[in-house]
Structure 1
Amino acid sequence: MENLTALLNECAEQLAGRKLTLAFAESATGGKLSYAFSQTVYAGEILKGGLVCYDACLKEDILGIDKEMIETFTPESEEITREMAIKLKKIMDADIIVAVTGLTTEGGSEAPGKPVGTMFYCVYFEGQTHDRKKIFTGTPAEIVDLTIEQVAKTILQILN
């Protein structure tokens, strides 16, 4: 993993330079993505906030995602992650919305092709969703950090 702090600072600087704001809907990352961006010198300019909806009932109750959709696709899926981003945009008026779900430990919706370490994230910007699925290995903390790194890289790619 490259220097995560430097990467986050570069991403935050790009956002601040373009006067863009950022908000998060987090499940598997448990708020660490919001926290990571809050530690940059540009946090006050770019960070709107975040919602941690680790349990599926919060995805339903707060974000308004249909229970049937969650049952069909599982709480940790590309479809639910995209829906989280779209729904959060209605709650938090930020330029870029990032939603994250995934499997950092056993006991979720593991399946063939979706082992522990599978992370989904969606970056919603200018009416478009940029969906990603990555499979990482490591401890839960390492998986979360690798996901944060990929989110920052994806934001930079979208901006450039």
Structure 2
Amino acid sequence: MPSENVIKCSKLIAAKGWNIAFAESATAGRMAAEFSMTKESGQILRGGIVCYEVFVKEQILNVPHSMIEKCTPESAEVTQILAQQASKIFNSKITAAITGLTTPGGSETKQKPVGTIFFHIITPDKKIKHKQIFLGSPEEIVLQAIDKTAALIAESLF
């Protein structure tokens, strides 16, 4: 069952007659799945791409290899390009991209521990950049990140 934030966000998007698409790394498709379970899903959900592995980021979403090397796959810079590219692919009114670290073994550092999530959301009126560190199991981090994405979008629509 989708969270209250996802349900509210879906209603707000539908009320505007808009749609949404996703470029998901850390959430691996779970965000699109959560939005697909709302009553408004048929009106608003355009689609999404799971770009978990660097290969997909580079080959399908055209993130330059040099940027991945310089900034890491889980970074604000890469997340912004993912959002821009997905926005073109899906021709969506709202595009949300998300990268981050839900488990150890990625690019985590003291400044970027496991639980760090990067968001980049494009709407017709705004570009929202956000970084947050969540605590919990990988699933708890993913669900908190989805909820935060919905909240960021909903706030931008008022």
Normalised by the size of structure 1, how large is the TM-score? 0.95
Q: Does 1:108 align with 2:106?
A: yes
Indicate the residue corresponding to 1:49 in structure 2: 47
Indicate the residue corresponding to 1:157 in structure 2: 155
The question of whether the paired residues in 2 share the 8 Å contact of 1:21 and 1:45 is answered with yes
Shift, 1:6, TM fit: 2.2
**Structure 1: gaps (5+ residues):** none
Q: Distance in 1 between matches of 2:66 and 2:104?
A: 23
Q: Distance in 2 between matches of 1:127 and 1:157?
A: 12
After the TM superposition, which parts of structure 1 deviate over 3 Å for at least 4 consecutive aligned residues?
none
The 5-angstrom pairing of residues 14-33 of structure 1 reads 14-33=12-31
Identity of aligned residues (%): 42
Q: Distance in 2 between matches of 1:85 and 1:6?
A: 24
Normalised by the size of structure 2, how large is the TM-score? 0.97
Helix, strand or coil: the match of 1:14? helix
- Give CA-to-partner distance per residue, 1:2-21, whole Å, 9 cap, x none: x9522211110110010010
RMSD: 1.2
Indicate the residue corresponding to 2:66 in structure 1: 68
Distance verdict in 2 for CA 1:21–1:103, change over 3 Å? same
The question of whether the paired residues in 1 share the 8 Å contact of 2:2 and 2:37 is answered with no
**Structure 2: gaps (5+ residues):** none
Distance verdict in 2 for CA 1:138–1:71, change over 3 Å? same
Shift, 1:127, TM fit: 6.2
Q: Distance in 1 between matches of 2:40 and 2:155?
A: 19
Q: Distance in 2 between matches of 1:77 and 1:45?
A: 31
Distance verdict in 2 for CA 1:87–1:127, change over 3 Å? farther
Q: Distance in 2 between matches of 1:67 and 1:94?
A: 26
Query: Residue type matched to 1:52 in 2?
Result: V
Q: Distance in 2 between matches of 1:76 and 1:42?
A: 31
Q: How many residues align?
A: 158
Indicate the residue corresponding to 2:85 in structure 1: 87
Q: Distance in 2 between matches of 1:39 and 1:159?
A: 21
Match of 2:37 among 39, 64, 78: 39
Shift, 1:89, TM fit: 1.2
